[in-house]
Structure 1
Amino acid sequence: MPVGSKKNNTDYRFVVDYRRLNACTELEAHPLPTTEESLDSIGVQNPKYFTCLDLQSGFHQILLDPNSRPYTAFRCHLGLFQYKRLPMGLKNSPVTFQRVMETVLRGLTWKSCLVYMDDIIIFSNNFADHISHIRGVFQRLRCANLKLRLDKCQFAKAEIRYLGHVVSSQGILPDPDKLKAANKIFVVVDHSALQWLLSMKEPSGKFARWIVFLQAYDFKVKYRPGRVHSNADALSRRVYETEPQISHVGQNSLSPTQTSNCPIDGAFDRNTLVRHQREDAKLIRMINYIEKDILKGDTNECRAILLTASQYFIDDQVLYHVVTGGKTKRTSKTGQGNVIQVVVPRALVNTVLTEMHDSSITGGHYGISRTIEKTRYRYFWEGMYKDIVNWVKSCKECNQRNRPVYPVRAHLQPLPVTGPFQRVGTDILGPLPVCQDTGNKYVLVFIDSFTKYVELVPLPNITARTIATAFIDRIICRHGAPESLHSDRGSNFLSRIVAEVCKLFEIRKTQIHPITHNATVKVNE
């Protein structure tokens, strides 16, 4: 059943519930202009005259295809009806109407006028051009047989309301009528927004730029009681006699401006960084793939670029690397966050290491761990950790000032042997040429640590079962079970079968230093 929705004036809007139809309708892809783009386009030209036009029931001026009309059918107390023109409530009605308006005004939009659905704004720098621009728009509307609603049109105004803003030659301000409810809201200020921004798991492009901007400052968000914060509170509560005016919007005013994310004493500027990034053979492949969707190189290089491209983005011609879920001192209190790093080309690695370690201002000759933490907080390149370790270890000043501290370790002591076959060493020799008669190609070596008696056992393979069987037949059955079995802790001797044999006969196995029993190695040689 249709319902009547009251407009801002005394008219009613006739609407039908098309939710079930929209659920099975494929969305037609067509972008709507954003408020930021529209206002920015007006602000760049700094116009003096404005005209705003509103179409009379804009959707209903678009004819509906006859094949689509049955889908819009609805019933009421008078019977069953269907729309002949584009109704409100359909999923694709807004994009269809927007495409029609852009087609009608093609060649005029973004130059002398803008269109957002059924609202058209015309702007000019002088009155003569403004009349010409209005005449051009009217000719297009007349050819398309589109009608305007005169009582909602405004002509040649110095100030006009458009898309929730007041637009004039002095600048762009929020519409006061739209701010009435917001002005009544009591704002509770805290710092969770900054903490949330720095801990986002997958930041979008707009948020990523702000994260890069804020990472240029080393700050911590701390609570400060209001009684000791009177200096800032006094400025924020100052009463102004007049409403503050906002200057006209510039071309790049919607994007945060950041000159550099480099060390504070200017090791290299943005232009130097951009030039070296594009001269680096590896980085230029990633840059070309992100900017131009061009993938060149051998198979392994192309695979690496495809797998890691989501971790990179380019902002203001600078290549950045994003570590998702990284944890640094800046984000440790807020949990898992993102670290956005400047990608350093190989030609500037030494410059960054000098600033991060050797410089008296930004370095400080810290140790390996702290230098890595400082560097990865802002920079990234392949082999970064290895380069930092080598740089710090080879620092002449650090080596002269700091004595290396080695952990205190006890010296290895020989294990005394008091009788034959108390401790048996074992190792495997091979593979050797296969014996034609028996098929053996390995030799299992046993040596008694007390008598130096050697037992050689030829084996066709070195599986755990074969070794356990030879150990039982040649050593345990002939000489008794030893107290300990010394091996090189290979996978054959660490198997579950050998472990069960040693557990059954209460035989200890090698724990930490298998190379200390080199008698077996000498036998193999």
Structure 2
Amino acid sequence: MYYSELFQRKQISGESVEDYGNAILKLARRAHGGLSLDEHDRTDVQHFHSDCVDNVDFNDTIRINSIIPDNVQVIKIKGKVFMRDATLFIDTGAVVSLVNKNMVPDIELLNIKPNYKHIVSATGQPLNITGIIGCEISVNSEVSVHNMYVVDNLLYDAIIGTDIMKRIGIVIDMKDEAAYWNNMYVKFIGSSDQNSVASSALYGVNLIQTVDIPARSEMICFGRVNGDVNGMIGIIEPKSQLTSKYSVIPARVLTKVCDKDVVFKVLNPTTKTVKLFKDTNIGTFEEIDKVLDEEYDSDIVPTSNVVNSLCEGISEERMQDVQVDWDQLTKLEQGQLRELLNEFSDIFAKSDSDLGKTNLVSHSIDTQGHGAVKQRPYRVPFSQREEIRTQIQDMLDRDIIRPSHSCWASPVILVRKKDNTQRFCVDFRKLNTLTKKDVYPLPRIDDMVEAFRNSKYFSVMDVAQGYFQVPVDEKDKEKTAFVTAEGLYEFNCMPYGVCNGPSTFQRLMDLLLAGIQWKSALVYIDDLIVFSSSFDEHLCRLREVFGRLRNANLKLKKKKCAFMKSEVSFLGHIVSADGIKADPGKVEAVDKFPTPRNVRMVRAFLVITDHNPLRWLMTIKNPSGRLARWSLALQEYDLTIEYRAGKLHGNADGLSRRGETQTVVAGLTEISPAGLQLDVIKDLQIKDPNLRPIIDYLKDGNLPEQITNARKVMACSPDYELFDGILHHFWTPGPRKRKHVRKQLVVPHSLTNEVMHWCHDDPTAGHLAFHKTYHKIQERFYWVGMYKDIDYWCKSCVKCATRKTPKGRKPAPMLPIPVDGPFDRVGVDVLGPFPPSLQSNRYIVVFTDYLTKWTEAFAVRNADAVTTSKLFVEEIVCRHSAPRTLLSDRGQNFMSNLLKEICKLVNTKKIFTTAYHPQCDGLVEKFNGVLTHMLSMFVDDHHKNWDVYIPYVLFAYRSSIQESTQETPFYLMYGRDARLPIDVALSEPTVTYTDADDYKANVLTRLQEAFTLAKDNIQLAQQKQKAYSDKKSAEPDYEIGQKVWVYSPASKVGLSHKLLHPWSGPHRIISKTSPVNFKIESCDNKKHQQILHANRIKPFLDPDDPPDAPNVFHDETDIQDIENPDQEDETIEDNDIETNVVVEVLDKLWTRNDEGRLEPKYFVKFENNTKENSWVKPDVIPGQLIEEFEENYKGRGASYRKRKV
């Protein structure tokens, strides 16, 4: 605007030349607002062209006359141009000064003025002049601005001509190889002692980003230093031209460079917002000594302290515990928050003794005219008296209490906290009963959490020892008196434990936040939260709250404060930008509570608990420990506890005492390590009927009366011995183990479950597999049949069964799907989601015919039931006829009622695969892989055109031969081969038909032949696939009524998939729907039924029904002998003792007993060949022989056979 006025301004009639010149001057200054102070002086009325040091006749050609011979030294000095390191060439033959365009920042190029001169070099070559600019040149610490011509591709960074030399008085001393720049001594570049001259380097400071400085405000800005100055400490000298040009005032600060970045303040004293663009030069940075001398100008220190704190963080001593999500804030935001926290650092308590005292409210105690209550002090152990004395002295020093002459007195107790420290508490129960209750309301928590909607930034604060920052009315201080062995004291501040304390504090905080509560901040007693939807808004709200806290003389606890958080915990809720949810730690007990299975359990969960103990707690005379803590906690509430007998409700503290399903072991009352004491084991060994015979024989030499039992005792006795009356067993490990005899503690039958529990179920055992558990027990314990017991224990362990999948488990055999005619059986599936295409498609719906292998694929935006059903009707039924059977997985779109009704209308049977068994629809699944493979070959880099190529890849698939049919889908559909583009170009004309009947007969013949061959080939391929698959499969031998585990790998939100237990149950088989599919129901809910493939179930072993324990010293013949008294007793002879002793196990097989359970048998060899090798039960085989056999033949599947007996 000013430029146009300047060019259009004409002398008005009657206007003097002087007035006309002054008007032109004002317009010129406005048009060129970026002029320096010197330039303003040169536009003064009294300033004439002849007086200007830059006097140049713009009508003449300027020649740069300097031609430097080879033997003459070039005069070059170090300096800076626009705060960039530069080499300055002092040219006494140049009339004007030049600067290389590369040295001028882009933002300064906007200030270039047009050039009207023709400038040539000494050789007469014209120079490419861009224009004239006010250029900043600094040498040492001297900064000046000069008009210089901007030249493209200048040889030097800048050429200093005689115009600048005259202006600042440059003197050249060729003898010393130096120049005097404005009376400063500067050595030439390349001089012999250039490095001996100490001079401070100057570095430019430019803005990192564009900033808007509000009117009448001071802003923290970030700049970048142009140079290798990381870690340096120095002074930022502001650029004076910034003030004249933008009317802003940068601060002169002492700061430290952090990653080339510095922090400084800029003041905008104007009434308008000022924008400073990125890369704007703010000033210069000059390094100083890291340790400031005492002589240094002290007025710099206060400013430098502020900026240094912004650069390196708020003082560690004051703010190290404040929680801030720094990573989520930009550098500018970090600086603004640091400045705010530093500005209000006085509202944070520096220590426990640094407390404020508010003047907004005071606590009063209205005892309604009752007389004083005086109680005797509680008896305190001598070990606690010193602690009470210390805490009293601390409160005296902090002016929390004072000595008292009151007639009131309440006793003192110490309560141990979780960190093992002692909390000083006063028992105000009697005072509270006399106090008139304050009914000041507390805010509703559900209303408070609703106020956080649409907020993204949250800050939570906690008032440090809030009660102690509230004074007590002078007239009521005597009522807070407490008595100790040291004397009588009373509170100056509101004590903890008084009944109206929460109401008083809530009233204080409501007054504090009056006008902004529910809008920008909320408070619940001493929990304060500030919320907002933007950073700037949040900063303003924090400033408002901080200011009110300062005015109220309240201080915050640093460790419990968190600022600018995206997610915080407040009043039992997790509050974030995504919404509000319950704190997992608060609802864990309810979340883990078992699902009620009957009316009684539901009532037990809902009904209130028995409160009779709480009545006693309110009247206990001398509470201590946990009782004291609860007693004091209840004093702050106005409540009446009514007793309700426990027989009237069945909850009994529902969450903490909930019932759990446990395995009850007969004869074992408690699973505890205490049961494995030697004296207990000794008594139980004597009482165990299996161990009593061998103990009697080893102790007294007494044998059982029955010959068979006596033989067994004598045969086994070398492996046993008594130590201090406790039976032990000796065992020699097999091959590949340490060769030394192990002494094993013999475990009585009543303790075997406890041993297996601690060696398998306990966290120190880790629920490891059978072999590791067996080895761990075998190293320490022994009992007959332990191998079988441990094996069953590990297999029946509920946690192991729900977590582990059996190794070497053979899948069920393959059942090929029969095919009839084309489009008799059709499979359907959905692929996706894919990245949205240009047509917004995200899914592919695929249909496949099981005979011809003809496929249809359609790109759709969504794959819901409506879309799938419409494609089935329009693209399959209308084009290929209604199929007899439609097979799909169990997706919601396929199981919808809409698709079921459509299938009924067209007489199509809708069938589904079993859950988590995609092999059932293997044809479609295989084509899905082929389809995605082909699309991947043509899709673009951004995956936006995948749907365009679907028709093309479908044609490629349909015209390709299929391995199972040995034909192409195209031929099986149309009775002719597909004509490819290459066929049209190269092949000869095909046979033409003039009669439709001839063509029909020919096509029919070819299709019949093709269908026959296709069916035969499909059956042959299915037989091959089944033969290959069945090599590693086995017929499922599950029975109706058998309990099983079900594999359910679905992951849960918030839980790790790797830590889940994928097997659930138990379930019960209720029918067999096919050779490999079973219908099952939940044992807990019979209405929950499903059909599953055999590969998804495994047998359930009931931990409450273990196999019968063997009796090594008794057998069936013993019972027969007892029941038949007429049978003659056999005499014991020496040769009978050694008969039929097993010395080696040769083989093993599994058999099924009369009850249908699998049990092992072993093929054994007897000592001295007293009996032929035969199959026997493990009960008659020494345990170490079974263990050696299992260890030697571990992993050799051929040695283990399974038979059905």
TM-score (ref. length: structure 2): 0.16
**TM-score for both structures, normalised by structure 1:** 0.36
Q: Which has the larger radius of gyration?
A: 2
Task: State the structure with bigger RCO (CA 8 A, min sep 6), 1 or 2.
Answer: 1
